[in-house]
Amino acid sequence: MFSNTFILSFFFLFFPLIITATFKNLTLPHQHPFPESVVHEVKRRVNESISRRQILDTTVTSNQCLTGNPIDDCWQCDPNWANNRQQLADCAIGFGHGAVGGKGGRYYLVSDPSDLDTVNPTLGTLRHAVIQEEPLWITFAGDMIITLKHELMINNYKTIDGRGANVHVTGGGCITLQYITNVIIHNIHIYNCVPSGNSNIRQSPTQVGWRGMSDGDGISIYSSRNIWIDHCALSHCTDGLIDAIMGSTAITISNSYFTHHDKVMLLGHDDRYVADVGMQVTIAFNHFGQGLVQRMPRCRRGYIHVVNNDFTEWQMYAIGGSANPTINCQGNRFTAPEDPNAKEVTKRVDVDERDWTQWNWRTEGDEMVNGAYFVPSGDGLSNQYALASSMEPKSAFFIDRLTMNAGVLGVPRDTSVAMSYGGRTRTTVGTNRNGGAMPKEDDGDFLEKVFGSAASTGTSSSSPSTTTILLSLLILYITTNNGGLVTLPLLLFIIVI
């Protein structure tokens, strides 16, 4: 029998080599090592929900809330959902399925739509809510338009839950997720976002930082992970509606409605930023609609799963990319414009054909309407897709059902350009929606209304487990050992202590 010393020595000598061989393509500590398994699970969830809906269609039952959309069916069929809001955190699919947001934390009620001070935000405002250190589930007292003065910097473990109200976010910024984790943004309108900045902005109760001019994105995701954007309506921003760059990963963008914009969605910083190879994004059940031009999305590196979306308008192209991204398109409907020169769904940006022929761009079960066509490339039957191909996606035949509620729930879709003029909004809000004075910081009764009790179910913690720390250290060693940032002896020393 081998001694314990021998076994430990063998483990520490060869385990990093085994892990390196297994995860040799990892560039980010938090990317999923087997993206195909995530794709497989998304399709399983969709197929399961559609099958349940089809069974109901053939039986007499009072349970008609099921739509076949696995996210909506997860929570909408609960008649008591308003008293169990945090169930939503269990409903995400795809690469962002681990985003818990403010689950397990207290409720924060936003009752003041103003944004008068970005350094010392008023209690009861959205800015005051999102900068807190603790996990929070943020809800709204009623309909409101929040006109931001500058970027809204969101802290870790937050859910912005607009259900039950008609919430609009517009103005300077708008929403920035930078170096953070676990955020859910659900059921809000975001539009008319313009560049703003060169100002001090509070990012947490203890940190204020100088911010240069923002780009005017609707939602900017920068070096962040575990992000879920669901049932939002985005339009009319200066730069992108959603941008995810600088090593952001574990993102799901679902059930949202995109209209009236040029460069809709950018995934990846630039062609030279190698860390974006680890970017993993799921784009599911969205409606890309009226007045869109391009970038739905535009990808640099990474693994992008585009599944069961409805693309009804583009002027240049729908899905583009550079720097060899993996794009897995399944069960979408692409309706081409009348322009005969814009029928192609795909665009390889600034690259010769001989360089992109090996990129893995795949179409499976997609419906092409009005002459639309997708140009695939790479080895579609390689190991890249072997697991994903083991279960066929639901075809685009079900697109109407899967995307019928895309956008903000309970209000008409934003199909008009009337809300926007040249990227500016005509609406400004300086007082609360009742026209009354703003609450004061020392108002104890108001504080009790703002911060509700902690959720009765679910937990959330920002403290990683010992296992997570050890795995993170191993991955850090693997992904940086070529540069000598973490040596094996140092890693072993850290593990021992």
Which range, 6-20, 302-316, 430-444, has the best average confidence (pLDDT)?
302-316
Instruction: With a cut of 60, say whether residue 492 has pLDDT above it.
Output: no
Residue 453 pLDDT class (50, 70, 90 cuts): low
Instruction: With a cut of 90, say whether residue 286 has pLDDT above it.
Output: yes
Residue 414 pLDDT class (50, 70, 90 cuts): low
**Whole-angstrom Cα distance, residue 278 to residue 282?**
13
Per-residue pLDDT tens digits for 200-217: 999 999 999 999 999 999
C-alpha dihedral over 205, 208, 213, 217, to 10 degrees?
-20
Answer for the pair 293, 316: CB distance below 8 angstroms, yes or no.
yes
Q: On the CB side of 290, how many CA atoms lie within 13 Å of its CA?
A: 6
DSSP summary character for residue 111: -
Instruction: With a cut of 50, say whether residue 77 has pLDDT above it.
Output: yes
Instruction: With a cut of 60, say whether residue 51 has pLDDT above it.
Output: yes
Task: Give the mean pLDDT of the chain.
Answer: 82
Region 392-407 average pLDDT:
82
DSSP summary character for residue 298: E
Position 437 scores a pLDDT of 31
Which residues 6+ apart lie within 8 Å of 309 measured at CB?
283, 284, 285, 286, 287, 288, 332, 333, 399, 403
Instruction: With a cut of 60, say whether residue 459 has pLDDT above it.
Output: no
**Whole-angstrom Cα distance, residue 338 to residue 350?**
25
Tokens for 199, please give them: 């100002």
**Got the DSSP string for 131-157?**
T-SS-EEEEESS-EEEEESS-EE--SS
Position 5 scores a pLDDT of 56
Neighbour count for residue 48 (Cβ, 10 Å): 13
Tokens 């390689």, located at residue: 382
Which residues 6+ apart lie within 8 Å of 303 measured at CB?
35, 279, 280, 281, 325, 326, 328
Residue 234 pLDDT class (50, 70, 90 cuts): very high
Which residues 6+ apart lie within 8 Å of 441 measured at CB?
122, 123
**Whole-angstrom Cα distance, residue 166 to residue 145?**
8
SS3 content of the chain, % helix, strand, coil (to 5): 25, 30, 45
Cα 125 to the chain's mean position, in Å? 23
Region 327-343 average pLDDT:
97
**Whole-angstrom Cα distance, residue 156 to residue 140?**
19
Position 479 scores a pLDDT of 40
% of the chain surpassing 70 pLDDT? 73
**Whole-angstrom Cα distance, residue 494 to residue 244?**
33
**Cis, peptide link before residue 29, omega less than 30° from 0:** no
Instruction: With a cut of 80, say whether residue 46 has pLDDT above it.
Output: yes
Answer for the pair 294, 315: CB distance below 8 angstroms, yes or no.
yes
Q: Active-site residues: which are they? A: 295
Instruction: With a cut of 80, say whether residue 35 has pLDDT above it.
Output: yes
**Whole-angstrom Cα distance, residue 6 to residue 27?**
32
Helix (H) or strand (E) holding 17: helix 4-22
Q: On the CB side of 254, how many CA atoms lie within 13 Å of its CA?
A: 27
Instruction: With a cut of 70, say whether residue 246 has pLDDT above it.
Output: yes
Which residues 6+ apart lie within 8 Å of 248 measured at CB?
221, 222, 223, 224, 225, 227, 279
**Whole-angstrom Cα distance, residue 245 to residue 247?**
6
Tokens 């807190």, located at residue: 132
What are the φ and ψ backbone dihedral angles of 195, each rounded to 5 degrees?
-60, 140
Tell me which residue of 82, 80, 183, 178 sits closest to 129, measured CA to CA: 183
DSSP summary character for residue 416: -
Instruction: With a cut of 90, say whether residue 379 has pLDDT above it.
Output: no
Helix orientation angle between 4-22 and 466-480, rounded to the nearest 10 degrees: 60
Instruction: With a cut of 80, say whether residue 485 has pLDDT above it.
Output: no
DSSP summary character for residue 465: P
Helix (H) or strand (E) holding 186: strand 181-186
**Whole-angstrom Cα distance, residue 493 to residue 485?**
15
Region 209-233 average pLDDT:
98
**Whole-angstrom Cα distance, residue 478 to residue 108?**
41
Q: On the CB side of 243, how many CA atoms lie within 13 Å of its CA?
A: 22
Residue 477 pLDDT class (50, 70, 90 cuts): very low
**Got the DSSP string for 150-163?**
S-EE--SSEEEE-T
Per-residue pLDDT tens digits for 140-173: 999 999 999 999 999 999 999 999 999 999 999 9
Residue 413 pLDDT class (50, 70, 90 cuts): confident
